[in-house]
């Protein structure tokens, strides 16, 4: 095997996991945040069969048919998430396109690591740029905040810090005001942390709700009425399916407004 052929294989390896549509018909969505974006729900058979119009960017930076778990942050606990029901809703709304999910969420992580200069910001940026060689980034999905709820200072500054991250990420990706949807934290969270100190998650939710006033083309997916899986922290599978649909509805409301 000659060196040129090997080089061509390496350059194009990320396209070989699935048959890709034309770039303009391949709509990409970046999934970032902590464990409730990664998904800790019980896997369900109704989502076990791949949809040929929904692809995922794998840990190896290949495109493959999307199957749960989408994320690979913690393989022992990874499970169903909101990404698949989001993708199904987006695919149903646009019959002529293929949806590509770029999973980058990591459980237990604070906003600081997702902000510019942080390791997870850099990782998400790198994976998104690789994926964007094949498609068009149409939106960013965010769910995070539990890790910042134990500090009143972090909770009170959450909206400002999140807005800065959104602006930085859009600029570094070169995607203008690409739609950004943030989901609220579960209303089932306890008012105290594991160490017995106050949890300021209601304040974080207030800050998340303020995001559309801080940056353009941003929306919020509500978590009202969604249940946890018994641990008081993670959404259960039915909640995640519904949450993904709420993210999709919010995304669809934003997209027609773009210039």
- Here the CATH number for the domain that contains residue 211 is 3.40.50.1110
Give the lowest-confidence range in 113-117, 232-236, 255-259. Answer: 255-259
Place 257 in a pLDDT band, splitting at 50, 70 and 90.
low
Q: Does any domain span residue 7? A: no
Residue 110 lies in a domain: yes
- What is the model's pLDDT at position 16? 52
Percent of the chain with pLDDT over 70: 92
Residue 253 covered by a domain: yes
Structural domain includes residue 3: no
Q: Is the pLDDT of residue 159 over 60?
A: yes
Residues 154-175, mean pLDDT to the nearest whole number:
99
State mean pLDDT over 156-185.
99
Range of the domain at 26: 20-257
Q: What percent of the chain has pLDDT over 90?
A: 88
Please provide the average confidence, as pLDDT, over all residues in the chain: 93
Average pLDDT of the segment spanning 65-94: 97
Q: Tell whether 215 is covered by a domain.
A: yes
pLDDT exceeds 60 at position 83: yes
Whether the per-residue pLDDT at 212 is higher than 80: the answer is: yes
Q: Please write the tens of the pLDDT for every residue from 40-61.
A: 999 999 998 999 999 999 999 9
pLDDT at 11: 38
Distances (CA, A) of 64 to 14, 31, 40: 9, 16, 21
Alpha helices in 108-157 (DSSP H): 111-114, 119-131, 152-156
Number of domains in the chain: 1
Q: Identify the band that residue 3 occupies on the pLDDT scale cut at 50, 70 and 90.
A: very low
Q: Residue 1: what pLDDT?
A: 42
**Which residue bears the tokens 């995922």?**
56
HEC string for 25-79:
HEEEEEEEECHHHHCCECCCHHHCCCCCCEEEECCCCCEEECCCCCCCCCCCCCC
Q: 13 in a domain, yes or no?
A: no
Q: Is residue 195 part of a domain?
A: yes
What is the distance between the terminal CA atoms of the chain, rounded to a whole angstrom? 49
The reply to whether 221 falls in a domain is yes
């Amino acid at each position: 095997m000659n060196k040129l052929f090997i080089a061509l294989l390496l350059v194009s390896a990320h396209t070989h996991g699935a048959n890709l549509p034309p770039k303009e018909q391949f709509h990409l969505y970046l999934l970032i945040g902590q464990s409730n974006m990664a998904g800790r729900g019980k896997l369900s058979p109704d989502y076990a069969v791949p949809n040929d119009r929904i692809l995922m960017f794998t840990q190896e930076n290949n495109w493959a048919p999307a199957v749960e778990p989408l994320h690979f942050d913690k393989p022992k606990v990874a499970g169903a998430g909101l990404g698949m029901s989001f993708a199904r809703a987006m695919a149903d709304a646009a019959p002529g396109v293929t949806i590509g999910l770029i999973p980058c969420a990591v459980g237990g992580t604070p906003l600081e690591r997702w902000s510019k200069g942080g390791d997870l910001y850099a990782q998400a940026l790198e994976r998104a740029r690789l994926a964007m060689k094949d498609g068009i980034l149409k939106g960013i999905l965010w769910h995070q905040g539990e890790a910042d709820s134990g500090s009143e200072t972090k909770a009170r500054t959450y909206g400002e810090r999140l807005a800065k991250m959104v602006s930085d990420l859009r600029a570094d990706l070169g995607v203008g005001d690409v739609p950004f949807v943030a989901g609220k934290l579960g209303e089932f969270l306890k008012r105290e942390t594991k160490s017995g100190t106050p949890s300021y998650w209601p304040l974080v939710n207030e800050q998340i709700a303020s995001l559309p006033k801080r940056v353009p083309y941003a929306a919020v997916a509500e978590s009202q009425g969604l249940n946890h899986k018994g641990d008081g922290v993670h959404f259960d599978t039915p909640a995640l399916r519904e949450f993904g649909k709420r993210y999709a509805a919010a995304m669809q409301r934003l997209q027609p407004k773009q210039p």
